Amino acid sequence: MDDLLTGLRAAAEPTRLRVLALLSRGELAVSELTHILGQSQPRVSRHLKLLCEARLLDRFPEGAWVFYRLAASGHGADIARALLDLLPDHDPVLTLDAQRLTAIRAVRADKASSYFDAHAHKWDELNRALIDRDGVERVVKDMVKGYNVRDLVDMGTGPGHTLIGLSEYVDQATGFDQSREMLAVARANLEQAGLTNCMVRQGDITQLPLSDNSADCVVIHQVLHYMPEPAKVIAEAWRLLRPDGHLLVVDYAPHHEEFLRDQHAHRRLGFSTAEVHNWFLAMDLRPDKQTPIPGPRLTVMIWTATKSHP
């Protein structure tokens, strides 16, 4: 009863109902909400604070920015969604807000596209010249499709391609990356794909802001070769996984392409199965199988493991 009354009090104000309606369409930063609502930042921040305290919204700091979205779970999430169902479909204020949101998203997409055009084509061309990317994506999809996944975490999500490819096989997916520019690309890609069950967050993949045992599946896709201590990433994946949860590590088999280290910041030139399995066993992860996918110049390996019961 107390949670219900708290949620109703927090939402019972025109601007806060507008905020809930906007965030039902996706996450937004304070500056974006300020522009759409036509109110000062302190006033908008006050509304957001009240909604967060009532647990109707989730708040995610990212550098100097803070993003907000509807609460993903709990009593607050249930209350917010129930109230949204009661909002009129053709209210003129909500319609104008939605139009302004569309304009905000267009600007965001343009910025992300400019960055992606300047950088990502080089990575895309390099990947296709080195590996069978389509084959890798197909195998990863087949593996995740065979699992019963409610919550998936993509560690080092980059432009969000893994989230997009796996979205139909999971209830909810969260991708983490340290690069704000790359996260902008990922957000634009997720919005273009029309996905509402995927989100991205800024975070260090060796210490993510998630609770223990919070994921059924963790994917580490083409990330470990950049890491100074890959075992720490495996340890963090173990922490996130629920018992019987699945880990997928996608990376290069050992190779001798030194230009990747010299020109593209790769710290490691692939990994042996023995090395990866040692990381698994050290964290009480049960190795399942390893799948090689040969490409034009390099072989990609997909190693899977399952978290044991305590």
Rounded-to-integer distance, Cα 38 and Cα 72, Å: 27
Confidence of residue 117 (pLDDT cuts 50, 70, 90): low
- Whether the pLDDT of residue 289 is over 90: the answer is yes
Beta partners for residue 130, in sequence order: none
- pLDDT computed for residue 250 by the predictor: 97
Tell me the CATH number for domain 2-87. Answer: 1.10.10.10
Q: How many CA atoms, within 13 angstroms, populate the side-chain half-sphere of residue 237?
A: 34
Give residue-wise pLDDT tens across range 143-178.
999 999 999 999 999 889 999 999 999 999 999 998
Q: How many CA atoms, within 13 angstroms, populate the side-chain half-sphere of residue 56?
A: 30
Domain coordinates in residue numbering, the chain? 2-87, 121-307
- pLDDT computed for residue 74 by the predictor: 85
| φ, ψ dihedrals at 182, nearest 5° | -70, -35
- pLDDT computed for residue 116 by the predictor: 53
**Of 127, 285, 304, the residue nearest 219 (C-alpha):** 304
What is the domain class of 121-307 according to CATH? alpha beta
Give the mean pLDDT of 19-31: 88
- CB count within 10 Å of CB 15 equals 16
Query: What crossing angle do the helices spanning 41-53 and 2-11 adopt, rounded to 10°?
Result: 160
SS3 assignment, position 46: helix
- Whether the pLDDT of residue 216 is over 70: the answer is yes
Rounded-to-integer distance, Cα 152 and Cα 160, Å: 13
Same fold for the pair 2-87 and 121-307 = no
Look at the block and give the residue holding tokens 């993903």. Answer: 72
Rounded-to-integer distance, Cα 221 and Cα 50, Å: 38
DSSP state of 309: P
Give residue-wise pLDDT tens across range 44-55.
999 999 999 999
CB 166 within 8 A of CB 147: no
Count of helices and strands (H, E) across the chain:
12, 10
- pLDDT computed for residue 229 by the predictor: 84
- pLDDT computed for residue 248 by the predictor: 98
> pTM higher than 0.75 for the full model?
yes
Confidence of residue 139 (pLDDT cuts 50, 70, 90): very high
- Whether the pLDDT of residue 25 is over 80: the answer is yes
Give residue-wise pLDDT tens across range 299-309.
999 999 999 88
Amino acid at 169: Y
Give residue-wise pLDDT tens across range 174-183.
999 988 888 8
Average pLDDT across the chain, whole number: 89
Rounded-to-integer distance, Cα 120 and Cα 50, Å: 40
- Whether the pLDDT of residue 121 is over 90: the answer is no
- Whether the pLDDT of residue 234 is over 90: the answer is yes
